[in-house]
Structure 1
Amino acid sequence: MAQSREVDYSRIKASPRVRPVTALLADSGRNAKPSILTVKAFAVDISKPMASAVAQITSRATGKTQQFALANGRLERVFNTPDVLAIEVSGEGYTTVFRSMTIAVSSAGNRYEFDAQLDPAPIKLTVWAVDSRTNKVIHDAHFTISGKAGRTTLLLTPDSATGLVKTDLPGRGIYQLTSSATGYGDFTKSIRLDSVQSEARVMLTPKKAPDVAQAQALPEAVVKSAKTAYVETPAAKPALKVPVLPSNVQMPAVTNRPFGPIEKGKAIPLKNIYFDQSSPVLRPESNAELDQLAEVLNANPSMQIELRGHTDNQGDFDLNVKLSRDRCQAVIDYLVNKGIAKSRLKAVGRGPIDSIAPNTNEENRKKNRRVEFVVI
């Protein structure tokens, strides 16, 4: 007969229980450390950090897009949850770099880096030449442009129909522009190109000027872009030093029959000036009105004026502003050829901003397309 045995249950250890997967995941989440993303921007190579770069980051988790300035070419972002990012790094005057990154979060604390190397964006330059007397496009002008280190000089021939030349240049900087045309003096000037979209209008002086005012005209290059505009003119001693009135001195009213009373700050329309359609080229019918304005300026040598160009609201806003400014510049060029000092004249393009009639029909739109001058 088998003997009974007493069991001491207190000595038996309980076997460990298997924990649910959800519990393990919960522990993992509690132990996860933040992940760090570092974005760096360089100009061409990693030895040149970009101080003015911008990073645009789109989060798939939130659906939001944020922009960040990269101080000294560097940005750090901390992520506490996983995400998928679309990153775009850009800088003015440089190409844009894109990258998609998956950000994971773990107990180890992950680090991610994106080194964005940006190449200089090409400058798209449009060049044309005009006659300094008539402001008409010279279709047979030829151009050369050079200046960037190690770059071959470009020989540019304009389109026979428009007289325009369009070319790509390797990047921003100072270039040497030369122009020549049959019957005109050669032109050479250094121009600074700062914007991706730039224009250069060259004014050529005929070799045999018909009058003294034309003979004294100086060649110039007008360089324009979306953000900058400046004029480079050969240095010359002015024949007459124009006194500048203090701002607190009131300009007396000037009476001249074509324009009526002229007072400081009052906009006076030039009613009889005409341009080619959608163009800054002055038509000959404008000469009489502009000659009268030149007479007023000659009779009042201390007077300074601002020419304001206006358009209707048809078409692209930026192009309208540019057209209105270029038309004012064409008027200034005409007055300078009549002996008026350029320092007394200022061109402002207002585009469709200051309409004087609703743009509801062609008659009203015609009223809005105008050039005015204001004594400043």
Structure 2
Amino acid sequence: MTATAPSAPGKLGEAIEPALIQRYVVELDGWLRTRDDELRELDAAAIAAGRGEELAGDMQLVLAMWKAIHDRYQLVFATWDGGRVLQQERERISTLIWGRLDGASGMPGGLAVSLPEACRLNDALTGQLRTKLALTYDATEQVARIRDLRAQLERIRDQVGLEPPASQEAAARTLAGLMLRLDQLTERSERGADVGGMLGPLEVEATTFERDLIVGNARRRDARSKLESARELRADLEAREQALEKLAAQCVATVDTAPHFAVPDVDALGPVPNTPDAIDEYLKKLDRVSQALEFAQHKYADALAQHTELVALLDAYVAKATAQGVAGNRDLVESERQARAVLARTPAPMAVAQQLVATYQTWLQKETAQ
């Protein structure tokens, strides 16, 4: 099971078309779910192979990146609000996608990357983990591995185009060498040869090269003036602030009792200063606001997730009752009706809903024990 991050629409500052946003939100959600399953598989395989400690650092890094991406997806999804977006919201989503994904979001070493870059980097590191664990398959999967490698090299080609003139030629030569080796392996494979042993090293080199290009591009952005960095980070925080306000409103409307955390006001920081003495302190303030935004986001998202999980738990109990032929029992029917009615309220009293779902579970245990 492998996943490749979807292509992101638009560009920074552009009001992205609603249809493109909707497609991206759906595809990114699917990628996140599949990648979560894939990382669980890799973690279990590492432990089973007795290499859990050896690969712990790599696993922690890729999981931290997945979490940062998931956090940003939540804000994009909240701003999307089921398609109820005007030009301002569409521009804000563009900022959330193409702006900085850094600092408090748990990116390694405070590295500033965009959401699409973080996804590609996660793809590359996950592929590297899979190769280290040799969780690639022979024969029938050989063609798929070659296809995935070719797609990766095309992503690298796009990344090479972002390199500055001084390093672009060298990067292009490296890419050409990788593509030549892949073409040679493809020809051998088409003649019926087993190239599995040669694919592994090529996959590792391609992944390392892709990672270095993405990280290098991010570091070049970070090396720009502090004033420009402060402006970029402030713009990102403003978009996150608006998205968090929507997420908080959704939470308050969905669950009772909802968390109550003040959403930090980026405007309260004042304009970005343009003097060297003031910019460092301003950047520290921006980082503190970023951390506060992330803390509040997690609290609201967790409360919403609790409601979603409770609905899923009730669905699972009902499915079990149906499988055992007792779903039509009068007590179970009435218990389900009451639980769903409370869960459907806006906001839903969670303490009562939890008790009603537990009541359904108790009735189910009683009926299945007979």
Q: Give the TM-score range, shorter chain.
A: under 0.3
Q: Which has the higher contact order (CA 8 A, sep 6+)?
A: 2
Q: Which has the higher strand share?
A: 1
TM-score (norm 2): 0.21
TM-score (norm 1): 0.20
